[in-house]
Amino acid sequence: MKRVILITGTPCVGKTTTAKSLATKLGSQYINLTDFAKTYNLISGEDEERRTTIIDEAAMRLKLAESITQTETDVVVDGHYAAAVTPSELTTQVFVLRRNPKELKTFMQKCGFDEPKLYENLAAEILDNCLVEALQFHTEPSKVCELDATSKTVEELVEEISEVLKTGMCHTGFVDWLGMLEEEGVLDQYLKA
């Protein structure tokens, strides 16, 4: 049976490298949603303030469903909004990669994120945005798995994902960056108003 595996999370958590590596290991089709949107002209505009592309989610959902249905191999979908645009009935498993905000902030700085974008994405990670979205769109029990990517190699993450795919054992709700940062008294350094 064909599997459709989503890899989601905030920017710089390791989605793309993990998804590509997993697709190679499984011999799966790999779909990067940013590239997919450009290839099939699924862009409805540009957000000048955020300097990001606005995706036509309805058109994306239709085209993605069509592409997934037409392929015979497993499919790995990579993107921070993968859970919102991949039909739940076609989805086998959703993996939400999480990363400690301290490490994540360093990664984003190395990638050249400007301060507003950096803090917007840190807030998304601290407030579980990608996890909440995954659980909202994929309500079937144990379809959504949370993986802490902090200080892990791509190989370690792919191995964890492979184990979940084999056993079906996955969990959510164990990552609490907000509580950790509050307890350490440094929340205001990561969550800017």
Q: Is 112 helix (H, G, I), strand (E, B) or coil?
A: coil
45: left (phi over 0), alpha (psi -120 to 50) or beta: left
Q: Which tens digit of pLDDT belongs to each residue from 91-133?
A: 999 999 999 999 999 999 999 998 988 999 999 999 999 999 9
- Measured between alpha carbons, how far is 50 from 52 in angstroms, rounded to an integer? 5
Q: Is 76 helix (H, G, I), strand (E, B) or coil?
A: strand
The structural domains of the chain, ordered by start, are 4-190 (3.40.50.300)
Residue 53 has what pLDDT?
76
- Measured between alpha carbons, how far is 126 from 175 in angstroms, rounded to an integer? 9
Residue 49 has what pLDDT?
72
Residue 50 has what pLDDT?
66
- Measured between alpha carbons, how far is 65 from 174 in angstroms, rounded to an integer? 31
On whether the CB atoms of residues 182 and 131 are closer than 8 A, the answer is no
User: The pTM is what?
Assistant: 0.95
Beta strands in the chain (DSSP E): 4-8, 29-32, 43-47, 52-55, 75-78, 93-98, 144-148
What are the beta bridge partners of residue 55?
43
Helix axes 177-184, 115-126, angle to 10 degrees: 110
What are the beta bridge partners of residue 148?
98
Q: Is 189 helix (H, G, I), strand (E, B) or coil?
A: helix
Q: Which tens digit of pLDDT belongs to each residue from 23-68?
A: 999 999 999 999 999 999 998 877 777 667 788 999 999 999 999 9
Residue 192: band (very low, low, confident or very high) from pLDDT cuts 50, 70, 90: confident
pLDDT at 80 over 90: yes
CB count in 10 Å sphere of residue 139: 10
